[in-house]
């Protein structure tokens, strides 16, 4: 009887060891499977990598402020479309930064490449239209300074067309007078300047009066327009010394605008749903007969394609792409 009990105890002891071994094996197998799932599963790794990349991309494309060269409400706050510089030798893309507007001047076409300005009710006042068209003495020595008489309306039939409008700068007499500098003018068909273009300018001021602020760029592109005296590619300017300059007559005038409620921290308030307006209007006699300015709306991408400029380049790419399509 004692021998049987002894065998029974031994049998129980062997079974207990088996259980322990089995548990160890199962535990090891569990740990092995867990490690494979977490670190060796190519599908999971791919998903984790995708989620990580998506998070990084989302963070990169969020409103992380770049290093701004210009303050909020400055025309170049969101970027310099043509990378214009103040290098005098850069005479086809010379940067002129004034309190009322900023421009890139082209000493070959004798016109601005573009003019940029910010518009809100802060720019409005009681100043009357100055009407004192004059040369811009801030142009560097050696640049031709276009004069009021150089437009020769009776011979060529083009208006001295404001790019930044006189009525956008009425806070002070000085502000209004600055808009009459010839560096802020392009030869413009009267039917555009006095009707289609003018109506768009008035609409922009309406938006400002409704409580919005606007970032605006505008300018000429191409050569060859038709005014009240016919079609011309340029207006020849003869100086007293006998030298001849050719002032370009643009084929189109364009404008791009960002509109947002007046406020602060504009960079972070601009998103994919922010309103934009962009037009490309033929510089042609009778242009008003085809409709008002809304008939000439184009995407900002289109304006960039024909001008080779990059507007609002400091915005995150995903937002810039959405606004410009």
CA nearest 204: which of 256, 130, 254? 256
Query: Token match 């004059």: residue?
Result: 134
Q: Which two tokens stand for residue 273?
A: 């749903």
pLDDT of residue 323: 98
pLDDT of residue 65: 73
Instruction: For residue 87, give the 3-state DSSP assignment.
Output: coil
Query: Token match 């940067």: residue?
Result: 95
pLDDT of residue 38: 61
- Catalytic, 162? Answer yes
pLDDT of residue 6: 46
Question: So what's the architecture of 94-324 in CATH?
Answer: 3-Layer(aba) Sandwich (3.40)
Along the 325 residues of the chain, how does pLDDT read in single tens digits?
444 444 444 444 445 666 666 767 777 777 766 666 666 555 445 554 445 444 444 444 445 777 889 999 999 999 999 999 999 999 999 999 999 999 999 999 999 999 999 999 999 999 999 999 999 999 999 999 999 999 999 999 999 999 999 999 999 999 999 999 999 999 999 999 999 999 999 999 999 999 999 999 999 999 999 999 999 999 999 999 999 999 999 999 999 999 999 999 999 999 999 999 999 999 999 999 999 999 999 999 999 999 999 999 999 999 999 999 9
What order do you get walking across the sheet with 252-261 strand by strand?
94-97, 102-106, 111-119, 212-221, 252-261, 275-282
Catalytic one of 74, 118, 162, 288: 162
CA nearest 165: which of 218, 210, 224? 218
pLDDT of residue 24: 72
pLDDT of residue 7: 44
DSSP 116: E
pLDDT of residue 16: 63
pLDDT of residue 250: 98
pLDDT of residue 26: 76
Any long-range contacts for 244-248 (C-beta under 8 Å, 24+ apart)? 245/110, 245/144, 246/110, 247/109, 247/110, 247/111, 247/146, 247/150, 247/151, 247/187, 248/108, 248/109, 248/110, 248/111, 248/187, 248/220, 248/223
């Amino acid at each position: 009887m004692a021998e049987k009990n002894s065998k029974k105890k031994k049998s129980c002891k062997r079974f207990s060891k088996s259980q322990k071994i089995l548990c160890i094996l199962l535990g090891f197998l569990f740990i092995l499977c867990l490690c494979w799932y977490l670190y060796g599963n190519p599908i999971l790794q791919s998903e984790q990598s995708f989620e990580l990349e998506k998070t990084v991309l989302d963070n990169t494309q969020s409103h992380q402020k770049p290093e701004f060269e210009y303050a909020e409400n400055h025309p170049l706050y969101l970027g310099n479309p043509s990378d214009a510089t103040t290098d005098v030798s850069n005479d086809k893309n010379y940067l002129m930064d004034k309190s009322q507007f900023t421009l890139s001047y082209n000493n070959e076409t004798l016109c601005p490449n573009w003019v940029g300005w910010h518009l809100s009710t802060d720019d409005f006042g009681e100043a009357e239209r100055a009407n004192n068209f004059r040369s811009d003495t801030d142009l560097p020595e050696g640049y031709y300074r276009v004069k009021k008489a150089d437009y020769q309306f009776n011979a060529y039939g083009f208006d001295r067309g404001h790019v930044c409008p006189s009525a956008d700068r009425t806070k002070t007499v000085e502000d209004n007078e600055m808009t009459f500098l010839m560096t802020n003018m392009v030869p413009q068909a009267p039917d555009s300047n006095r009707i289609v273009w003018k109506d768009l300018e008035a609409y922009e001021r309406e938006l400002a009066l409704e409580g919005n602020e606007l970032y605006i760029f505008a300018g000429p592109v191409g050569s060859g327009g038709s005014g009240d005296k016919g079609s011309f590619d340029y207006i020849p300017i003869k100086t007293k010394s006998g030298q001849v300059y050719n002032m370009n007559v643009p084929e189109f005038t364009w404008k791009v605008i960002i509109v947002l409620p007046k406020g602060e921290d504009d960079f972070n308030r601009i998103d994919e749903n922010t309103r934009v307006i962009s037009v490309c209007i033929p510089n042609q006699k009778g242009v008003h007969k085809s409709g008002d300015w809304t008939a000439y709306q184009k995407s900002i991408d289109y304006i960039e394609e024909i001008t080779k400029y990059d507007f609002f380049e400091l915005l995150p790419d995903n937002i810039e792409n959405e606004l410009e399509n």
